[in-house]
Amino acid sequence: MKRREFLRILGIGGAGTGLGFVLGKVTQTPGAKLIPYLVPPEEIVPGVANWYASMCAECNSGCGIIVRVMEGRAKKIEGNPGHPVSKGGLCVRGQASVQRLYNPDRIKGPLKRRGQRGSGDYAEVTWDEAAAELAKNLSDLRKSGEAGKFYLLTSQLHGHLNQLAANFMSGYGSPNHIQYELFQNRNLLYANQASMGLNTIPHYNIEHTKYLLSFGADFGSTWLSPVNFSKGYGRMRQGEGARGKLVQVEPRISVTGANADEWVPARPGTEAILALGIAYAMVEKGYNRAGDASAWRAALSAYRPKEVAAITDVKEERIFEIAKEFAQTRPSLAIGGEGLSSYENGASGLVAVNVLNHLAGNLGVKGGVLPNPDDPLRAAVDMNKRITALASAAASSKVKALAIYNTNPVFTTPKAAKLEESLKNIPFIVSFSSFMDETTALADLILPANTPLEDWGDGFAEPAAGAPVYTIMQPAVSPVFDTKSLGDILLSLAKSMPGNMGPKLQAQSFAEYVRNGWKELYSKNRAMASGTADFDDFWDKTLQNGGWWSQEPSRRGLSVSTGAASANISNKPAKFDGDEKQFPLYLITYAHPMRLDGRGANLPWLQEIPDPMTSVVWGSWVEINPKTAESLGIKEGDTVSIESPSGRISAHAYLFPGIRPDTVALPLGQGQVYGRYAKDRGENPIGVLPLVENPKTGALALNSTRVKVSVASPTGRMVKMEGSTKELGRGIVKTVSPEEFSKMKKEA
Amino acid sequence: MKKLIVYALTGVISLAIGYWVQQQFFSDRAPVQPINFSHKIHAGVNKIPCQYCHIYAERSRVSGVPNVQRCMGCHKIIKTDSPEIQKVTAYWEKKEPIPWTKVHNLPDYVYFPHKRHVRAGVECTNCHGDVPNMDRITKVSSLQMGWCLTCHTQRNVKNGRDCWTCHK
């Protein structure tokens, strides 16, 4: 063998061995590590889930949830089957809320502003430093006798957290705790207070009603307590007795409207007048079951169906038909949702709905409106504490310090409120937000609070199920990042403040505060004590069940007087900004089923689920009737500009037959600047809204402007799941008329 | 021509050798563990029952790797002079768990509960081999689906051949 040949064989052999080794390496399954516990926690068995009962905080319905936790990590959230509000159900937002816990955009520890305000340049600091800085700022303010210039701005707080915040503010000496959310039911609270003397939202007993007349209430996806109502609606349709009927009055079909038997597309802003027209028709025909007919005829004389028909674009005969069916089907129920309440005179529309229920005898009956017991911790909501009050106080430098928690008003108030500019006047802003957002971006100091799955809390569900529902929120997992409970932050802040902050802030931790609060409730409420040995026993059961509730209905009587009604109703359609000729279309903005007011936008699941009505994913779109689109030369998917006297945004055109030709609709929630899943997706419809708030309640009117729509660019990329809305003769959906169906049933 | 055959033969043989070396000495069938733990001493010579350490086998999906506290329960006293035990003590003192390498690894799409098998009276050695005689743990079963089904069929397991039983 030659030397050269030997080397060649050696080379081939070496390469082959190496190759074989690599082959073996790449084909084997990668080994994983097995990391045991150092000391095993007592309650954890690896591989076996622990379920913790808690409360969902994605909206204000207060659904009971159970959280599946494995090895200390929350994996899945379901509805609590024993809870009277959620009854084992949970909506898409509740399901996705686990993504709030693990969201990569969470603020992972305390931050202190380093650069210019709004620049996003923050330095990481320790909790001790951050707490000391906060305490110093607030105690300096208090020492200089300006405690009243400290404002606390939060979302709608519930239960003991709300009580703690109130105690903190009164101990500190400031009356200015403002609770603000876009969908806060202020108008509904006001209308029920003004017409029925109720301080809480009643329970609308959809489950047992047989005729449901809904004015713009999208109760199947966003309104009040969608899980409870959806379950109830299922039983209303397919439960005991005859199938209930749903009539939906709204200019644009919502998810709920799509399920209705009848759609009544009244002219936007006139729904309240339609309700009163129906009420008048009931009185005139003698259908009413409650109330003095002649007194009501006098009170409603301005709403004769003939005139109402002309205003509302609903035929006179149809008004009489609805009146007859509504009055004669037992039990029946009228509800007024965001669609009605979001007009400039929204509260009066909701009073009109109460009038309908009163006349039909639906108040306080099964299948009608059932009163809820009062919240044991909260008095009536103060309607004067509103976001515009904060904006004007800040603009005139009457605010020296501001604390923000869990609300993003810079994103949800119209430009005309000048909120951002006003907030910049405040010398010291602290945020307790867990996420960076448009409002928190103005903060000088950020002390991130826990998310609901890491926190204690409770809620006295509103609307409850017509009986007391006290839900407890307990931590399902320990904090994932370096965050603290807002309750703990406030309690330790109170202790580090010089001077007396009052006796109500002595608890060592918020957990203890909540427990003490429940102990007090327990000592006062005999129904809570029944069947339990002592408070400790009761508390264990409460944590296990997710709260305490009873079947005991509220015995309060409900009625609407002609005087209360007349003082609040109006025969003028809601006002819309903008000249009719220049801006020919009404604009409806609505809460998106997934993103709501924008709070769900940074949860990726909620971004990628197609909208149930349009099947659009991500982005923002505007719903236009195909006839209107044709006359404006707009094709599906075009980028169009929507212009109002207050501003202009662009969105993709979606041709939607379920909307009146004189109306266009925009879903809320997109167009955020922060959050990796939320940013760069569409535009914020709030940008075209004028600042119109209900003078009595401070609720922002979302349906308050006219717009014009024009093609901005014929190209655009709207992502949607549906191909065509038409069958094109393929016979995909077989239909049969009710008459044929009953004939077929007889023959079978 | 003859030369080419020689080259090819050399290549194939060396490929096989390389593969075999990898499988035999570097594979996950019997990986080198951070501590030279001997099942032979524990389960074989001293006859400690499996579930004395793998405490979750009867009530969970996983049998459970013994926590470090459990190791220290005995080895605070027993054989403290051994260098391997001193490694355990070092982990315990640093308050760090021992990073064992997994030998019996199932893909995520397989639902395998130890609980059901142990309760049905399947011996641990049935799948894990003669562990009481192993110094270093070696994977003896393929853990492939066919292997599972052979046993499920022989024992006539209820729904034992249903896709949903293991893939859910």
Checking if the pLDDT of A164 tops 90, the result is yes
Q: What angle do CA B45, B47, B52 make, to 5 degrees?
A: 135
How would you classify residue A461: left for phi > 0, otherwise alpha for psi between -120 and 50, otherwise beta? beta
CB contact A379 to B (< 8 Å):
no
Q: What is the CATH number of the domain that holds A136?
A: 3.40.50.740
- H/E element holding A459? strand A457-460
Checking if the pLDDT of A529 tops 90, the result is no
pLDDT digits (tens, 9 = 90+) for A652-669: 999 999 999 999 999 999
Checking if the pLDDT of B143 tops 70, the result is yes
Q: Which two tokens stand for residue A560?
A: 């609407």
Burial of A272 (0-12, 13-18, 19+ CB in 10 A): buried
Q: Which two tokens stand for residue A591?
A: 């809460």
Radius of gyration of chain A from its Cα atoms, rounded to whole angstroms: 29
State the pLDDT at residue A28. Answer: 65
Same domain assignment for residues A620 and A643: yes
Checking if the pLDDT of A26 tops 80, the result is no
State the pLDDT at residue A557. Answer: 86
Chain A nearest C-alpha distance from B168 (Å): 15
Same domain assignment for residues A2 and A17: yes
A389-403, A412-426, A639-653, B21-35: range with lowest mean pLDDT: B21-35
CB contact A41 to B (< 8 Å):
no
Nearest neighbour of B68 by CB, restricted to A24, A36, A48 = A36
d(CA A548, CA A230): 23
pLDDT band at A382 (very low <50, low <70, confident <90, very high): confident
State the pLDDT at residue B24. Answer: 66
State the pLDDT at residue B27. Answer: 67
d(CA A138, CA A172): 9
Q: What angle do CA A659, A660, A661 make, to 5 degrees?
A: 115
- Sign of the Cα torsion A453, A457, A462, A463 reads positive
Same domain assignment for residues A363 and A443: no
pLDDT band at A133 (very low <50, low <70, confident <90, very high): very high
Same domain assignment for residues A402 and A301: no
State the pLDDT at residue A262. Answer: 95
Q: What is the CATH number of the domain that holds A336?
A: 3.40.228.10
A287 backbone dihedrals φ, ψ, rounded to 5° = -80, -15
State the pLDDT at residue A64. Answer: 96
State the pLDDT at residue B19. Answer: 83
Contact B15 A20 (CB under 8 A): yes
Pick the last residue of a domain from A340, A370, A400.
A370
d(CA A486, CA A434): 10
Average pLDDT, chain A: 92
pLDDT digits (tens, 9 = 90+) for A440-452: 999 999 999 999 9
- H/E element holding A663? strand A663-667
- H/E element holding A358? helix A346-359
Q: Is A458 helix (H, G, I), strand (E, B) or coil?
A: strand
Residue written as tokens 């000088």? A444
Q: What is the CATH number of the domain that holds A675?
A: 2.40.40.20
- What chain A residue is nearest to B98 in terms of C-alpha separation? A35
pLDDT digits (tens, 9 = 90+) for A267-299: 999 999 999 999 999 999 999 888 888 999 999
State the pLDDT at residue A30. Answer: 58
Q: How many domains does chain A have?
A: 4
Please, are residues A591 and A668 in contact by the beta-carbon 8 Å criterion? yes
Global pTM? 0.87
Please, are residues B161 and B148 in contact by the beta-carbon 8 Å criterion? no
Q: Summarize the confidence of residues A17-32 as an average pLDDT.
A: 75
State the pLDDT at residue A739. Answer: 84
- What chain B residue is nearest to A25 in terms of C-alpha separation? B22
Checking if the pLDDT of A137 tops 80, the result is yes
Contacts across the A-B interface (CB distance below 8 Å): 130
CB contact A36 to B (< 8 Å):
yes
Q: Which amino acid is at B74?
A: C
d(CA A381, CA A358): 24
State the pLDDT at residue A418. Answer: 94
- Sign of the Cα torsion A501, A507, A508, A511 reads negative
Q: Does A10 map to a domain? A: yes
Length of chain B, in residues: 168
Q: Summarize the confidence of residues A108-120 as an average pLDDT.
A: 92
Checking if the pLDDT of A685 tops 90, the result is yes
How would you classify residue A711: left for phi > 0, otherwise alpha for psi between -120 and 50, otherwise beta? beta
Question: DSSP label at A345?
Answer: T
Contact B22 A38 (CB under 8 A): no
Same domain assignment for residues A339 and A282: yes
pLDDT digits (tens, 9 = 90+) for A310-323: 999 999 999 999 99
Question: DSSP label at A688?
Answer: G
Cα A414 from chain centre? 19
Contact B18 A38 (CB under 8 A): no
Please, are residues A125 and A112 in contact by the beta-carbon 8 Å criterion? yes
Q: Does A209 map to a domain? A: yes
Chain B nearest C-alpha distance from A49 (Å): 10
- What chain A residue is nearest to B104 in terms of C-alpha separation? A31
State the pLDDT at residue A552. Answer: 84
Q: Does A97 map to a domain? A: no
- Closest C-alpha to A439, from A682, A178, A702, A641: A178
Same domain assignment for residues A230 and A359: yes
Chain B nearest C-alpha distance from A371 (Å): 45
Enter the ipTM.
0.79
How would you classify residue A268: left for phi > 0, otherwise alpha for psi between -120 and 50, otherwise beta? beta
* CB-CB neighbours of B46 under 10 Å: 11
Same domain assignment for residues A241 and A351: yes
State the pLDDT at residue B107. Answer: 84
Same domain assignment for residues A436 and A343: no
pLDDT digits (tens, 9 = 90+) for B51-85: 999 999 999 999 989 999 989 999 999 999 999 99
Same domain assignment for residues A223 and A364: yes
Residue written as tokens 């006062």? A524
Q: Does A747 map to a domain? A: no
A407-411, A744-748, B132-136: range with lowest mean pLDDT: A744-748
Q: Summarize the confidence of residues A12-34 as an average pLDDT.
A: 78
Q: Does A532 map to a domain? A: no
Q: Does A48 map to a domain? A: no
CB contact A45 to B (< 8 Å):
yes
Same domain assignment for residues A148 and A219: no
| CA atoms within 13 Å, Cβ hemisphere of A152 | 23
d(CA A702, CA B30): 67
Residues 6+ apart with CB under 8 A from A396: none
pLDDT digits (tens, 9 = 90+) for A688-711: 999 999 989 999 999 999 999 999
Q: Which amino acid is at B82?
A: S
B112 backbone dihedrals φ, ψ, rounded to 5° = -120, 110
Q: Does A240 map to a domain? A: yes
Residue written as tokens 């210019």? A116
A96-110, A373-387, A580-594: range with lowest mean pLDDT: A373-387
Set of chain B residues whose Cβ sits within 8 Å of the Cβ of A13: 10-11, 13-14
Q: What angle, 0 to 180 degrees and rounded to 10, lies between the N-to-C axes of helices A3-27 and B2-25?
A: 40
- Sign of the Cα torsion A539, A540, A545, A551 reads negative
Q: Summarize the confidence of residues A713-717 as an average pLDDT.
A: 78
Same domain assignment for residues A197 and A316: yes
Q: Which amino acid is at A619?
A: G
Q: Which amino acid is at A745?
A: K
Same domain assignment for residues A174 and A203: no
Residue written as tokens 């709300």? A162
pLDDT band at A29 (very low <50, low <70, confident <90, very high): low
- What chain B residue is nearest to A24 in terms of C-alpha separation? B19
pLDDT band at A31 (very low <50, low <70, confident <90, very high): low
- Closest C-alpha to A573, from A163, A268, A206: A268
| CA atoms within 13 Å, Cβ hemisphere of B31 | 19
- Closest C-alpha to A459, from A169, A100, A56: A56
Contact A34 B102 (CB under 8 A): yes
Checking if the pLDDT of A748 tops 80, the result is no
d(CA A254, CA A168): 42
d(CA A373, CA B69): 52
Whole domain around residue A12: which residue ranges? 1-28
Residues 6+ apart with CB under 8 A from A564: A194, A195, A196, A351
pLDDT band at A13 (very low <50, low <70, confident <90, very high): confident
- Sign of the Cα torsion B85, B90, B91, B93 reads positive
> CA torsion angle for A568, A569, A573, A575 (degrees, to 10)?
0
Q: Summarize the confidence of residues B11-40 as an average pLDDT.
A: 82
Q: Does A518 map to a domain? A: no
pLDDT digits (tens, 9 = 90+) for A503-519: 889 999 999 999 999 99
Please, are residues A354 and A560 in contact by the beta-carbon 8 Å criterion? yes
d(CA A521, CA A182): 31
Residue written as tokens 């064989």? A9
